[in-house]
Structure 1
Amino acid sequence: MASGGGAVQVQNFVGKEVNGFEIVKLIGQGKFSYVFKAQRKTDGLCVALKLIKIFDMDNEKQRDNCLKEVQLHQSLDHPNIVKYLNWFIDNKLNELFIAVEWAEKGDLKLVIKKAIEEDVSFPEKKIWEYIHQIAGALRHMHEKRIMHRDLKPANIFIDTAGNLKVGDLGLSRQLSSQTFEAFSRVGTPLYMSPEVLQGKGYDWKSDVWSLGCIAYEICMLRSPFRQDDKENLSLYDLFQRITKGQFPPITAEKYSPELRQMIGAMLRLDPEGRFDIAQVCELCETFKKNLQSKPPAIDTYLIMDDIIEKLSLLDYETSFCKGWKQKRISRVYFAHGTQSDDSIS
C-alpha cells in the first residue's frame, strides 16, 4: 500500500484493514491528507478515517501542526463538534491516521446546494437552530482558547439526526493565555474576515465573521460576497467587497428583523463592534425561549374541516345555499379571507 519515500497508493486502500479499521471508500483529499469512510471491525461503527502524509511534509513544523490537530480533537467534547475517536501511526505505512465520528448526511454545503437545486428556502426556525448549534460549538472551542479559522459550509457536517457537527480542525490554532491575536493568513477567502485579508491581527471575532457569512448563505442560498457561482470574480474584487463589507441585504419578506439584525451584527467590519460568540448564543437561546412560550398556532384547516362536517349534518347546502343562492363554504375559508373556492370542498 506504500511505495518508496512513504508515498501513498490510495487506490490500494479500499477493502484493506488498517489497525482494526476496514477502508470502505475515499471521500476526500488535500495536499497532505486523504479522508476515507471506514468501519471499525470490533463493532461495525462507521468512522471518517483521515490519513495524513506526515512524513511527506517538508519540515518538522508541518508535522508538529498535524500532531497539534490530534491534540485539539482530544481536548474538545461538544455535541456539535465532530467527535474524536482514536489516532495511531501505522507501522507498515508509517503514516498518521485520525479516526473521527462519521457524519451520515454529508455536509452543510451539500444541503445548501440541494436547496438551490430544488428552489426552496430554509424556514427561519431551522436557520436559528443551525446558527445556535454552530455558535455553541465555537463557544466551546473559544473557551478552550481554540480558534477554528476555516469555518465554512463544507466543514460543517450533519449526523443521522440532522444535527450539525463542526469539523476539520486542521487550520485551528490554540492560543496561549498570553496570546490574543493571530497573524497568519489562512482559511477560505469567501469566509475570511476583513482583518485577516488585510493582514491585521485577529481574534475570536474572526470566527464570528465566518459564521455570519454562513448564516447569510443559509438565508439567501448564496455567499454575501459572491452572488452567483458562475460569476467571474477575481480574488482582488472579492477582497475589495469583503474589506468594504459590500453585500445585498437579506430579503425582508422572508426573514424577521431580529434574524437579519443579528447576521448584520456578525458581519460588521470593525471587530470591536462585531458580536462575540456569547452574544450570538444568547440571542439564539432567547429566540428559542420566546418560540416555546408562544401559544401553539391555530390550524385553521382543521377548524374548517370540523365546521364543514357539522354543516353537512345540518344539510346546509339544501336549506341554506340553494335557498339563499349562496356558494358552498370553502375548506380554506379562514385561511384566505372570505373568498370562496368551489374547487375545494
Structure 2
Amino acid sequence: MSIQSTYEALNNFDIRNAAVNRGHFATVYFARHRITGIKVALKQVELSRMTDSKTIEDCKREVFLLQQLDHPNIIKYISHFIDNNDLYIVLELASAGDLSKMFESLHQNNKLLNEKTIWKFFCQITCGLEYMHSKRIIHRDIKPANIFINKDGSIKLGDLGLSRYFDSKTILAYSNVGTPYYMAPEIIDGQCRGYNFQSDIWSLACILYEMVVLRSPFYEIDLDLPSLQRKILTLDYEPLSTQLYSTNLHSIINQCLVLNPEQRLPINDINNIAKTMYTQFRTQITNNAPVPI
C-alpha cells in the first residue's frame, strides 16, 4: 500500500470534533494523518443530503479543478474519497486561519496593517489568481474568508466550490454566485449580461481596499441587498486617504473598481505592480531608508 492511498480512508485520520468552517452541505475539520503525522484540512461534503443533481456535479467539479492546480499560493489538493455516502476532500492546512479572522482581530485590537505587509500579502494573492486565470479557471468567490494564511506569512487562495473552468469556446458565465460585498457590478445588477475573469479583478480590488481599512469598500451597517446593489452600481464608497498610502495602491483600486469590466486592469499588470511594490518596501527597510506613506 502506498502512502498516497492511505489518504483515501477516513480511519487513517484523527479529526478534531470542533469544525473549522461550516457551510450548507460542507464542513471543514482540522485532522492529522495517523501514518505521516501531517496536519490537513478535511472537507466533508454531505452528498447524502443533496437532492439536486447540479449541486452534486458542482462538488465533482471542485475536485476536478483542485486537481488541475499546483501553485504555492493556492491551497494544495492532496486526495479525496467517499465514506458512508459522503465526499471527503483532503487539503493542505493553512495553520494561521484566514484574512477575515485576521481583520477581525486587528479591528478588535484597534490596529491596522502597514503598507509593507499589505503588499506582502497582496502580491501572493495576485500570484495565485494569475496562475488560476492562466489555467482558465475563474475563482468567483474571492473574499477574506477564502484567503488563508500560514504561520510563515505565506498566503493561499482556497475554497474553489464556486470556481468555474472556461474552455476555449467559453466567453461569459451567467450564474449569479459569490458573496455580495465582493461581487462585481455585472454579476450583482441582475441583468444576466454575463461575466468573465475580470469579475475576479473587481473582488481583488475590494480585498486590497479592505486590507487598508479592515472593511469592504461597500460595507455599511444593516445594509440590505438592494441598497448594496445601488452602492456598487454607483461606485459609492469612501476614497482612501492619499496622504497615507502609496500612489500605486490607490491606482490599483481606482483602476479595478470600474463598472466596465474591460476597463479594469488585467491580472498580470496588477501582479507586476504588487511584486514591484513589495520589493521596494523590503529594500527600503533593509537599507534603513524612509518608507513613503
Match of 1:149? 140
TM-score, length-scaled by structure 2: 0.91
Question: What amino acid maps onto 1:288 in structure 2?
Answer: Y
Q: Work out which of the residue numbers 83, 90, 94 in structure 2 matches 1:99.
A: 90
Distance verdict in 2 for CA 1:23–1:149, change over 3 Å = same
Match of 2:229? 239
Q: Work out which of the residue numbers 274, 279, 291 in structure 1 matches 2:269.
A: 279
Deviations 1:18-51 (A, max 9, x none): 2411111322211111111111011111111011
Q: Compute the RMSD of aligned alpha carbons.
A: 1.6
The aligned runs of 1:266-305 (5 Å cut-off) are 266-291=256-281, 296-297=287-288
Report the alpha carbon displacement of residue 144 of structure 1 after superposing the two structures with TM. 0.8
Match of 2:108? 117
Question: What amino acid maps onto 2:148 in structure 1?
Answer: F
SS of the residue aligned with 1:23?
Answer: strand
Pair 1:166-2:157 in alignment:
yes
State whether residues 108 and 154 of structure 1, in contact with CA within 8 Å, keep that contact through their aligned partners in structure 2.
yes
Match of 2:32? 39
State whether residues 204 and 276 of structure 1, in contact with CA within 8 Å, keep that contact through their aligned partners in structure 2.
no
Match of 1:67? 60
Q: Work out which of the residue numbers 214, 223, 226 in structure 1 matches 2:219.
A: 226
Q: Distance in 2 between matches of 1:289 and 1:37?
A: 34
Larger radius of gyration: 1
Match of 2:241? 251
The answer for unaligned runs of 5 or more in structure 1 is 1-16, 300-345
TM-score, length-scaled by structure 1: 0.77
Match of 1:215? 208
State whether residues 116 and 282 of structure 2, in contact with CA within 8 Å, keep that contact through their aligned partners in structure 1.
no
Q: Which structure would you say has the larger RCO, counting Cα contacts within 8 Å and 6 or more residues apart?
A: 2
Deviations 1:78-108 (A, max 9, x none): 1111111110011xx1211001011111110
Match of 2:131? 140
Match of 1:85? 78
Q: Work out which of the residue numbers 15, 19, 24 in structure 1 matches 2:16.
A: 24
Deviations 1:207-232 (A, max 9, x none): 010010011011111110014xxx12
Q: How many residues align?
A: 278
Q: Distance in 1 between matches of 2:275 and 2:105?
A: 28
The 4+ residue runs of structure 1 with deviation greater than 6 A are none
Deviations 1:153-204 (A, max 9, x none): 0011111212111100000011111102111100000000000112321111
State whether residues 142 and 204 of structure 1, in contact with CA within 8 Å, keep that contact through their aligned partners in structure 2.
yes
> Percent sequence identity over matched residues?
41
